[in-house]
Amino acid sequence: MDKILVLDFGGQYNQLIARRVRLLNVYAEIINFDDISLDKIKENGYKGIIFTGGPNSVNDPLSPKISKDIFKLGIPILGICYGHQLIGFLLGGKIKSTVKNSEYGKIMVYKNESPLFAGIKKDSICWMSHKDYVDTIPDGFMVTAKTDNCSCAAMENEKLKIYGVQFHPEVTHTEFGIDILKNFVISICKCEPNWKMENFTTSSIDKYKAELKNQKVLLALSFGLDSSVVALLLNKAIGKNLTCVFVDHGLLRKDEGDIMEKLFRDKFDINLIRVDARKIFLEKLKGVTNPEEKRKIIGKEFINVFINEAKKLNGIDVLAQGTIYPDVIESGKGSSATIKSHHNVGGLPEKIGFKKIIEPLSSLFKDEVRKVGLELGLPNEFVYRQPFPGPGLAVRIIGEITEEKIKIAQDSDKILRDTFIKYGLEKSASQYFTVLTNTYSVGVMGDKRTYEYCLAIRSVTTDDFMTATWTKIPYEVLEEISSRITNEIKGVNRVVYDITSKPPSTVEWE
Ligand code: XMP
């Protein structure tokens, strides 16, 4: 399989670069510039290298650099933004920085003849985000594109197959960005486009069949997409040698635990242990109102319950985890800023002391995991369902968590989901749920005064969940939801709709 190395210098679009290359059916992996030696690069047999962008200035002595011997490996290189400037810097060009020459956003780029730009329009819009620029190109290079403000928007040394672009071909705002990447990966690096998810699924099954022969494997199955796909993959590879433990903390959506258990037992015949830990979680969460504290208690208790269960099982050597590629990168293994540390990358294993950990999906992005899930027979509606947070309904019940409040949250959420599906809204909203506010309000029912909970509806539309807008739900749908909730759910006499975007709000209330 041909591979492209995405050498990470800390840019915010690094994952996108790898995603785009994989969309061309060529495998790409992101490795921090400091985590791989030139010998290893050679040994791994990459057909091409992409230097990513990054927030630094190459003239800063502390900025991330790589040995210029990388250019002697004879592997084609494409530098993007910081990567482009780094090529210029390492090979003897001059990089300058002025506010006057900075460019942000969509900029018209004028391109010359180049194998990188073959078959695309010469003048087109590209996404720029830079203050530094290549002022003097290195010997042997020629300028292949410019903008009104930047005399070197692209450069190349065709003989050495080294290319640099100041703009970002990986973002969709760049017209023909994917064509530029395709020219590099397929025409210049001569990669065979044969990376396909079907190959991944069958080769992973074969790999684990051979690797885990007679070994017993344990998996914490949350019924989220990632752990569910690992369960199905390993079930195909090793069958009953896989034991899945589902810790039921009682904070899932209405009936979800039962529905998923039935699916996994009946359709997939998976070796599954369901641990009813509802009482333990309720006990630990008693009197707790602080959102962060709730999250921490749930995370910690999940591990405790799982470890206790694991101890009861004898002869298990291997722990399987549903880590996916963005988890690995976001946990700070790349050089992008650490966003959050996932406890499924580390944490758990050291405490349990398994001999081996396997992470079958650790090279895949979410949409790739979805494809594997579909291939393994997971139903479409499961694979594309809205995300659900790890701490579950606990972050949608404000204040203390009680059995009564969980029931209200579950029942109202079911009404909301059913109504969204009835009106075909489930495709236009990315995530929708109810929030049990901790507020009481006065109402009137059958001539009697009531003093009951006020419940909020939250629905957002978003591509990436980093930013989101509230969904424009038609009034008649809102009316039906409100009417059903106040009529059918005991303890709620008022429904409000949350009309805040993210930012300044977050999607979840806690
Ligand atoms: P926020 O509330 O941060 O949510 O705007 C963005 C997305 O992340 C989900 N979310 C979580 N997912 N564990 C998860 O697996 C969590 O602790 C968690 N908190 C929020 C949220 O549902 C939304 O999709």
Per-10-residue mean pLDDT of the chain, 510 residues long, equals 95 89 94 94 97 96 97 98 98 91 92 96 94 96 96 97 97 94 98 90 94 94 96 97 97 96 97 97 98 94 93 92 82 43 47 84 91 96 92 97 98 98 94 98 95 98 87 97 98 98 93
Domain 197-383, what fold?
Answer: Rossmann fold (3.40.50)
Q: State the distance from the centre of ligand 1 to the C-alpha of 395, rounded, in angstroms.
A: 9
Beta-bridge partner residues of 457: 434, 497
H/E element, 25: none
- The CA-atom distances, in angstroms, between 495 and each of 102, 121, 399, 440, 479 are 49, 54, 18, 11, 10
Cα 334 to Cα 48: distance, rounded to the nearest angstrom: 19
**What's the per-residue H, E or C state across 475-504?**
HHHHHHHHHHHHHHCCCEEEEEECCCCECC
CATH entry 3.90.1200.10 includes domain 3-188? no
Q: State the distance from the centre of ligand 1 to the C-alpha of 287, rounded, in angstroms.
A: 23
User: Which atom of ligand 1 approaches the CA of 509 most closely?
Assistant: 2
Which is it for strands 132-136 and 3-8: parallel, antiparallel or unpaired? Answer: unpaired
Q: State the distance from the centre of ligand 1 to the C-alpha of 388, rounded, in angstroms.
A: 7
Q: What is the CATH number of domain 396-497?
A: 3.30.300.10
User: Which atom of ligand 1 approaches the CA of 505 most closely?
Assistant: 5
Place of tokens 């190395």: 5
- Residue from 293, 341, 508 to probe ligand 1 pocket by mutation (most atoms less than 8 Å from CB): 508
Residue type, 72: K
What is the pLDDT, as a whole number, of residue 199?
Answer: 84
Residue whose Cα lies nearest atom 7 of ligand 1: it is: 465
- Residue from 465, 471, 502 to probe ligand 1 pocket by mutation (most atoms less than 8 Å from CB): 465
What is the pLDDT, as a whole number, of residue 397?
Answer: 98
Q: State the distance from the centre of ligand 1 to the C-alpha of 508, rounded, in angstroms.
A: 7
Domain definitions of the chain by residue range: 3-188, 197-383, 396-497
Question: Cβ neighbours of residue 432 under 8 Å, at least 6 residues apart?
Answer: 386, 416, 417, 420, 425, 426, 457, 458, 459, 460, 471
Neighbours of 316 (CB within 10 A): 18
Strand ranges, E, within 265-391: 272-276, 318-320, 356-358
Short-list 166, 162, 165, CA closest to 141 = 162
How much is the pTM? 0.79
Q: State the distance from the centre of ligand 1 to the C-alpha of 292, rounded, in angstroms.
A: 13
What is the pLDDT, as a whole number, of residue 159?
Answer: 96
Cα 149 to Cα 169: distance, rounded to the nearest angstrom: 18
* Both tokens assigned to 223: 């019924």
- Residue from 386, 507, 510 to probe ligand 1 pocket by mutation (most atoms less than 8 Å from CB): 507
What does DSSP assign to residue 415?
H
Residue whose Cα lies nearest atom 19 of ligand 1: it is: 389
Cα 310 to Cα 357: distance, rounded to the nearest angstrom: 14
User: Which atom of ligand 1 approaches the CA of 295 most closely?
Assistant: 17
Task: List, by residue number, the catalytic residues.
Answer: 81, 168, 170
What is the pLDDT, as a whole number, of residue 338?
Answer: 37
What is the pLDDT, as a whole number, of residue 336?
Answer: 43
Asked if 234 and 205 touch (Cβ cutoff 8 Å), the reply is no
User: Which atom of ligand 1 approaches the CA of 508 most closely?
Assistant: 2
Buried b (16+ CB within 10 A) or exposed e, 266-292: eebebbbebbebeebbbebbeebeebe
What does DSSP assign to residue 116?
G
DSSP per-residue string spanning 204-234: HHHHHHHHTTT--EEEE--SSHHHHHHHHHH
User: Which atom of ligand 1 approaches the CA of 386 most closely?
Assistant: 24
Place of tokens 């003897």: 92
Residue whose Cα lies nearest atom 21 of ligand 1: it is: 389
Q: State the distance from the centre of ligand 1 to the C-alpha of 371, rounded, in angstroms.
A: 22
- The CA-atom distances, in angstroms, between 211 and each of 40, 207, 216 are 24, 6, 11
* Both tokens assigned to 257: 């635990």
What is the pLDDT, as a whole number, of residue 339?
Answer: 32
- Which residues have C-beta atoms less than 6 Å from ligand 1? 387, 389-391, 431, 465, 502, 506-508
Same fold, 3-188 and 197-383: yes
Asked if 109 and 126 touch (Cβ cutoff 8 Å), the reply is yes
What is the pLDDT, as a whole number, of residue 337?
Answer: 40
Residue whose Cα lies nearest atom 10 of ligand 1: it is: 389
